[in-house]
Structure 1
Amino acid sequence: MPSLSSMLLIVLAVLGGLNLFVLVQLLRQTGSDQDPDSQWQWLQTTLTALQRDQHSGAERTERELRGAVLAAARDTRVELGGGLAEFQRLLMAQSGEVARTQNEQIDSFRIQLAAMQTGLDQRLAGLQGGIEQRLVSMQGSVEQRLSNLQGGVEQRLASLQADNEKKLDQMRATVDEKLHATLEARLGESFKQVAERLEQVHRGLGEMQTLAQGVGDLKRVLTNVKARGVFGEVQLAGLLEQVLTHEQYAVNVATVPGSNERVEFAIRLPGRAVGGAPDAPVWLPIDAKFPREDYERLLDAHDRADREAAEAAAKALEQRIRDEARSIAAKYLAPPHTTDFAILFLPTEGLYAELLRRPGLTEALQRQHRVTLAGPTTLLAMLNSLQMGFRTLALEQRSSEVWSVLGAVKTEFAKFGDVLAKTKKKLLEAHNTIDDAEVRARSMARKLKSVEALPEPEARALLPVESGVARDGDAATAG
C-alpha cells in the first residue's frame, strides 16, 4: 500500500500538469496580436490564481486522502484481526486432530511391538536351547579328539626328546672335553708365566726391602750422632773406607783435566761431564789440612790464659785456613768435571770447633772460595748422606727394573685375558650350536605331529640310535 507522501506527490504532479495544459490553451486563445507585456502580466495573474487554486486544491486533496487512508487502515486492521482469529481457531482444531491421530498410531505401534517381542523371545529361547545342546555335544567330541591327539603327540615328542637328549649329551661331552683340555693347557701355561713373573717381582721386592733396611740404618746413624761419640783424630781415609765402597771414591785424583795437581781423596758422583765419556763421573774433592803449629800456639795461649796471644793465634789460624781454602779452590775445582764446592777436612773436633767460633769464617769460605769445613763427625754425616743418595739411586734403578717386570706381567695378563676371551667365544659358539640343534629338534617335532609313531622295536630296527650316536661322536672328535 503506497504511503501518504507518495500519494500527495502524485496528486500535485497531476495538478501541475493540468495547470500547464490550461496555460497552454489560454495562450493559444489569446492570439498573437497582444503585446508581450500585457501577455506577461496576464500570465502572471493567471499563474498566481492557478497557484492559489492548486495550493487550496492540494490541501483539500491532502485532507481527503489522509481521511481515506485512515479509514482504509482501520478497515484493514479489523479484517486482519478477524482473519488471524479465524486462522488461530482453525490451527488449534487441526493440531488437536493431529495429536489424536498420532496417539492412536502410537498405541497401535506399541501393541504390535509387544506382540513381535513376545514372538522373538519365544524363538530365541528355542534357538538357545538347541545351540546349547549342540555345543555340549560338540565339546564332548572335541575333548575326546584332543585327548587322543595329545596322547599321540606326547608319545612322539617323548621319543624324539629322548633321542635328541642322548645326541646332545654326547655332543656336549665331546665339546666340554676338548674345551677343558684346551683351557687347562692355556691356563697352565699362562699361570706358569705369571708365577715366573711374580717370582721375579718377589725377588725385586726383597732387594728393595734390603735397601730400605740400609736406609733405615743410615737414618738411625744420622739421628743419633752422640751414640757414635767423638771420633777425635780419625783420619780421612779411615772415614771414607768405613762409609763408602772402593768404587765410590778414589785416591790422588787429578780432578782438573790437563792439570798435574792431585787431590788426596775425591768422591765419585754419578753424572756426565760435558764433552766427556758417557760414564765419566763428577768428582767431589776432599782435602785434609791440619795446621798443627798454629793450633798448638792457640792451645798454649789458652792454657796460659793469655787473651792477646790467644786472639793473635786464632787470627793466624784463620788466615792459614783461608789460604788453604783458596789453594784448594784453585787446584781442584773445575765444574762441570767436579762439583762446584770442595771439602776441607779438619782431623780433630777441637780444631773444627775453634774455627766455627770465628765469626763469619765458614760463610766467607763457602761464598768466596766454595770450600766447606768439616770435622770428623760432620764429614761422617756428609758421607752417610752421600751413601744414602747412592742407595736411593740404586733403589730407583731397581724400582725401574721392578716396574719393567710388572709391565711384562701386565702384558702376560693381557694375553691371558685374550685367551679367556677366545675360550668364551668358543663356549658361546658351542652353546649357539646346541641351541640351533634344539630349535631344529623342535621344528622336526612340529613337522612330525601328523606322523603316527611306530612301535619301539620297529623304530629301533629302522633307526639304529647307537650307531648314529657313535658316528656323531667320531665326527665331533675329528672336528
Structure 2
Amino acid sequence: MTEMTLSPLLLFLILTLTIFVVAALYLSLRAKAKSITSNDPIIDNLNLFGEKIQKLSEGQERLTGGLQTVSEAQAKAQLSLINMMEERLSKVQLQMNENLSHSSRRTAQSLGDLQQRLATIDKAQEKITKLSGDVLSLQDILSNKQTRGAFGEIQLTDIVSKALPSDGFDLQATLSNGRRADCLIKLPNPPGPIVIDSKFPLEAYEALRNASSEVET
C-alpha cells in the first residue's frame, strides 16, 4: 500500500520538474529565435518542441487527476476498513457483555440457592439444638424419682381425661388393701378395675436394656 502511494507521487514530482525545465529551455530558445527568419528549421523544431511541452502539461493534468483518484480510493478503503473493525469490535464487545451478564445472573442465582440452603441448615440446627435441650431436660426429669413421679402423674391425668369419661376413672384412689393407686380405671368384670402406677421404673428399664444375657435379665 505504501509503494503504490509513493510511486505516483514521485512520478508527479519528476514530471513537474521536467516540464518546468523544458518550459524554461523553450522560452530561452524562443527568445533567441526572434532574430531568425520564419523559414529557418530551428523555428520548426521550436514549434514541435512546444507541442511536446503541451502534451507533457496535459499528461501532468491527467496524472494529477489520477493521484486524486488514488487518494480518494485509498481514503475510502481506509474508511471501509475502520468501519469493518469498529463493527467487529462492537460485536465482540456485545458478546462479552452478554456473557458477563449471563455469568453474573448464574452466580447470583447460585449464591441465592446457597443462602437458602444455609438458612434451611441453620433452622434444622436450631431444631436439633432445641430437641437436644428437651431430651436433656427429660433425662433430668426422669433421673429424679420424685420429679419422674410428678411428671408421670401429669401425663397420666392428661391421657385418661382425654380418653375416658369423668366417671370412668378415679385418680389417687384408695384400694381395698389400703394402698393408694395413681389411677383406677373402672371396667366391668371381667377384667374389672385396672390399677395404673404413673411412676416409670426407669432403673429397671435401663437394667433390662443394658443386660447382655438372659441371666442378667
Shorter-chain TM range is 0.3 to 0.5
Q: Which has the higher contact order (CA 8 A, sep 6+)?
A: 1
- TM-score, with normalisation over the residues of structure 1? 0.20
TM-score normalised to structure 2 length: 0.40
